[in-house]
């Protein structure tokens, strides 16, 4: 599977330039930490990659698949991009069971009910298929959000600081889970954080976002400690 390439990406919101000529390559088969302080535009970049907002310029592509191109007039709909997304607030559906979360997302990709049960089991959620999010612990909710993101068999996995609300003990087990599941994603896994422990534990490559621009290859959390 090909790398994800962002070129000269520009995003404005309410007249303010959030991303300014951003360019970076996110390598296939690796976990890239997208590092930056709060408000740097990390969530905006993920939303642009996923198709949840339309950039003002530049391009995003994975191999021959062009997600967005200002010059070519292309803006691929989110459901066609084959991207899994774990949101910061998880965005679980309170009225649906854990099994329904996974099955409804995975069904268009050919996932069966049996497959959905197996996926829940693989992330440590065996036996909770009929529980709703409000009946799950914080760590279980994190695992459900990851299972849902994997259900559509994504070629890219995006995670927007999903572990920021859990304690250290739970976070350690989620680190291992993410290391395991990222191997199932043929393209890049991009993990957004501004927390040094997340970055140091999960990064196989690094891209830093600062004042609207991207810089590959730095480890700024080592300087911050």
Residue 8 domain-assigned?
Answer: yes
pLDDT of residue 40: 85
Residue 149: predicted pLDDT: 97
Residues 147 and 169 in one domain: no
Look at residue 151 in the predicted model and tell me its pLDDT: 97
Residues of the chain with pLDDT under 50: 223-225
Length in residues, the chain = 225
Angle at 19 between CA 15 and CA 24, to 5 degrees: 165
Indicate whether this model's pTM tops 0.85: yes
Is residue 88, in this structure, part of any structural domain at all? no
Q: Give DSSP secondary structure letters for 167-217.
A: -HHHHHHHHHHHHHHHTT-SS-EEEEE--HHHHHHH-SEEEEEETTEEEET
Instruction: Quote the pLDDT of residue 211.
Output: 75
pLDDT of residue 225: 41
Could you tell me if 159 and 86 are in contact, meaning their C-beta atoms sit under 8 angstroms apart?
yes
Residue-number span of the structural domain to which 220 is assigned: 4-82+154-224
Which of these, 79, 105, 83, lies nearest to 26 by C-alpha position? 83
Retrieve residue 85's tokens: 């997304």
Report the pLDDT value the prediction gives residue 218, as an integer from 0 to 100: 59
Both structure tokens of 6: 């962002």
State whether 75 and 102 are in the same domain.
no
Number of domain units in the chain: 2
According to the model, what pLDDT value does residue 13 have?
A: 86
């Amino acid at each position: 599977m090909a790398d994800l390439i962002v070129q000269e990406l520009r995003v404005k919101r309410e007249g303010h330039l959030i991303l300014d000529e951003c360019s970076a390559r996110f390598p296939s088969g690796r976990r890239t930490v997208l590092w930056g302080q709060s408000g740097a535009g990390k969530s905006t970049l993920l939303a642009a990659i996923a198709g949840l907002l339309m950039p003002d310029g530049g391009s995003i592509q994975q191999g021959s698949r062009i997600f967005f191109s200002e010059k070519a007039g292309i803006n691929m709909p989110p459901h066609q991009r084959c991207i899994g997304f774990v949101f910061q607030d998880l965005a679980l559906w309170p009225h649906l069971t854990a099994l329904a979360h996974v099955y409804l997302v995975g069904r268009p990709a050919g996932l069966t009910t049996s497959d959905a049960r197996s996926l829940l089991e693989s992330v440590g959620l065996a036996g909770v298929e009929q529980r709703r999010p409000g009946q799950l612990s914080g760590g279980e909710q994190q695992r459900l959000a990851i299972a849902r993101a994997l259900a559509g068999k994504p070629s890219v996995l995006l995670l927007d600081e999903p572990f920021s609300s859990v304690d250290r003990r739970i976070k350690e087990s989620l680190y291992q889970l993410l290391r395991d599941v990222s191997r199932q994603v043929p393209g890049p896994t991009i993990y957004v954080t501004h927390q040094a422990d997340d970055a140091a534990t999960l990064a196989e490559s690094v891209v830093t976002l600062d004042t609207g621009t991207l810089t590959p290859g730095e480890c700024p959390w080592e300087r911050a400690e």
